[in-house]
Amino acid sequence: MGSDWKVILCYSITVLYRLWWIPIRAWRLPLKNGERYFQDIEVPEGWHTSAEGRKWWRRYRATIIVPHALEACGLMAIALWGQWKQLPMLSLVAPVFVGMTLAFIAWWRHANRARIQRPQRVAVSLEERKLRTYFSWSLEAALAMLIAASWAIMAWRGDADIHWRWPLTLTYVVIGLIVMKAQVVKHGWALPANRTAEYQHWDEFRRRYASRVLDRMRFMNIVILAGYAAVHSLAGVAPIGAIRGAAFAAGLGLSVWMMIGIARGETAFLRGSARSLLPPATTIIDWKKGWWSFGAFMAGLALLMFWPER
């Protein structure tokens, strides 16, 4: 198996996370606000066991089963042919899963738009949301320098084995994550006029949690980029084995840190949703902007990953 154990270890961590997340949380996620709601929208009593309710539950669960079934097929093929190096390709299931979940939510909201009860009186905070509250400019400058240095050493001393697709894709993802974070921290919505402070506390929690997760994803991609650049550019100058080991340990540590962050954030989210606050979908959400930017990002990513190499 050689160095395949590293890929298998990284993959196993994502499997462990999902084994915790899917049966315990995701399977019943539309009930996070209690039995009176399905995915943020109030439903009549007995709806969950009605024909309509069962139909929507089947659709929701298909968004979980289909991508993971595809992943299981991919995993079996990899195991059968012993191509463990191809395991990272299974991560493509993540955007499929996210895309299907978002499509399901949009479909559900569109089909049940008449049921969405928006509060008649709403309140918005008059405190300015500034990027500098959520971004540390010195850290951003250091990260930008690390990316620039990675590109510079690859351009200057890169070996013949560099597949430019990977550094390009990683840099694209890093830039995309910065844009997403800026959108997340700038975005807000009208909150119900009663218990506004509680809703705002919750909204701010969501903003900080999302920006933390996006940061950790970004750090992980930057470390992988820097590691890739070092491995392919510093042969003969530095001990490649040590660089490879350090980059792997840093990437693995960051991915575990990211998953712990997601697990803690999601748990807190679910705990908060169980309180008697209205689900966020009852407030005004501008989905269009998010859809366009997410769609454009995914299209760019697909182009970079599947563009045939010469």
| C-alpha to C-alpha distance for 222 and 81, rounded to whole angstroms | 31
- Contact criterion met (CB below 8 Å) for 226 and 200: no
Pick 189 or 307: Cβ nearer another protein: 189
The residue with tokens 């929208």 is 41
In whole angstroms, the minimum distance from the beta carbon of 110 to another protein comes to 17
Closest approach, Cβ 116 to another protein, in A, equals 13
Q: Assign 153 to helix, strand or coil.
A: helix
Rounded-to-integer distance, Cα 88 and Cα 228, Å: 15
What's the min distance (Å) between Cβ of 107 and another protein? 21
State how beta strands 41-42 and 191-192 pair: unpaired
Q: Is 113 in the site for another protein (CB under 8 A)?
A: no
Q: Is 193 in the site for another protein (CB under 8 A)?
A: yes
Within 169-188, the residues that bind another protein by CB under 8 A are 186-188
First and final CA of the chain: distance in angstroms? 29
In the complex, minimum distance from the CB of residue 252 to another protein, in angstroms, rounded to a whole number? 38
Which uninterrupted H or E stretch holds 37? strand 37-38
What's the chain's length in residues?
310
Token pair in block for residue 100: 């299907």
Q: x/- string (CB under 8 A) for another protein, residues 84-103?
A: --------------------
Reference 169, options 258, 257, 298, 83; nearest CA is 298
CB of 41 to another protein, least distance (A): 17
Q: Is 120 in the site for another protein (CB under 8 A)?
A: yes
Q: Which of 98, 190, 268, 270 binds another protein (CB under 8 A)?
A: 190
Please report whether residue 124 would count as binding another protein according to CB under 8 A: yes
Of 66 and 123, which has the nearer Cβ to another protein? 123
Under the rule (CB under 8 A), what is the footprint of another protein? Answer: 118, 120-129, 186-191, 193, 196, 200, 284-286
